[in-house]
Amino acid sequence: MASRACPCGLPGTYQDCCGRLHRGDSAAATAEQLMRSRFSAFAVGDEAYLLRTWLPSARPAGSVQDRRVKWTRLEVLESSGGSVVHTEGTVRFRAHYLDRGRPGEMEEHSRFVRYEGRWVYAGAL
């Protein structure tokens, strides 16, 4: 996947975009960047990253991925807060997928908070 476009929709390759966050080379600077990197983690099957970037008190106990679903495209619809100077932020997005070959989409308004200095996913609003 090194030379493929990043699933998050931003320009650049996966390796240079969300891949560096997944590898731990850097942390998301904004809530939107974290949300995009989490979408990419769903797309590439990086469940460890998803769990690491989930607020511990809201993290599910079991698996968070359905292997039958292939995440294909992300649209960021709006965001508020979540910048380098904020401690909370929200991002509303639409994620497109294929479920056993059938196209679908889901929309969510997500809440993000800083936890131990890093952005984490706190759940849907």
Is residue 51 situated within a structural domain?
A: yes
pLDDT of residue 3: 76
Containing structural domain, residue 68 = 18-124
Token look-up 């849907």 returns 124
Task: Please give the model's pTM, rounded to 2 decimal places.
Answer: 0.95
113: which 2 tokens?
């908070």
Average pLDDT over residues 115-122: 98
Number of domains in the chain: 1
Is residue 6 situated within a structural domain?
A: no
pLDDT of residue 21: 98
**CA dist list (Å): 51 to 74, 77, 85, 102:** 20, 24, 24, 27
pLDDT of residue 1: 47
Is residue 71 situated within a structural domain?
A: yes
Chain centroid to Cα 39, Å, comes to: 4
pLDDT, tens digit, 9 for 90 and up, residues 18-47: 999 999 999 999 999 999 999 999 999 999
Answer whether residue 2 shows pLDDT above 60.
Answer: no
* Residues 9/36, Cβ–Cβ less than 8 Å: yes
Is residue 69 situated within a structural domain?
A: yes
Q: Which residues pair with 5 in a beta bridge?
A: 13
Instruction: Find the CATH number of the domain harbouring 111.
Output: 3.10.450.50
Is residue 1 situated within a structural domain?
A: no
Answer whether residue 79 shows pLDDT above 70.
Answer: yes
pLDDT of residue 62: 87
